[in-house]
Amino acid sequence: MLIYVVRASGAVVAGNRSKWLGRGSGMEIHAGDTIVVPLEVDRIRPLTLWTSVTQILYQGAIAVAAIRTFDN
């Protein structure tokens, strides 16, 4: 899990992927810093992702082709 620290100055520091924040990374938490731990989200399998992307691109291309036929 990746943990972020938002500094009081607005800078964002990404922690390492260890289970404990700052464990061996030398990251210090200062007054005013905010620790952000993102929620776990389901990962999309690459094949499912690319299937969806290609379908969207195909449908967009069909729409553009249909609009071009009406312009002539």
For the chain, give every domain's residue range: 1-40, 42-72
What pLDDT is attached to residue 1? 64
Give the pLDDT confidence score for residue 56 in this predicted structure.
96
pTM of the model: 0.42
**Matching residue, tokens 């005013």:** 32
Predicted confidence (pLDDT) per residue in 7-57, tens digit: 988 898 887 655 554 455 567 888 999 988 888 767 788 899 999 999 999
| pLDDT for 26 | 62
Task: Give the helix/strand (H/E) hosting 34.
Answer: strand 34-36
The H or E element containing residue 14 is strand 12-14
What is the pLDDT, as a whole number, of residue 17? 57
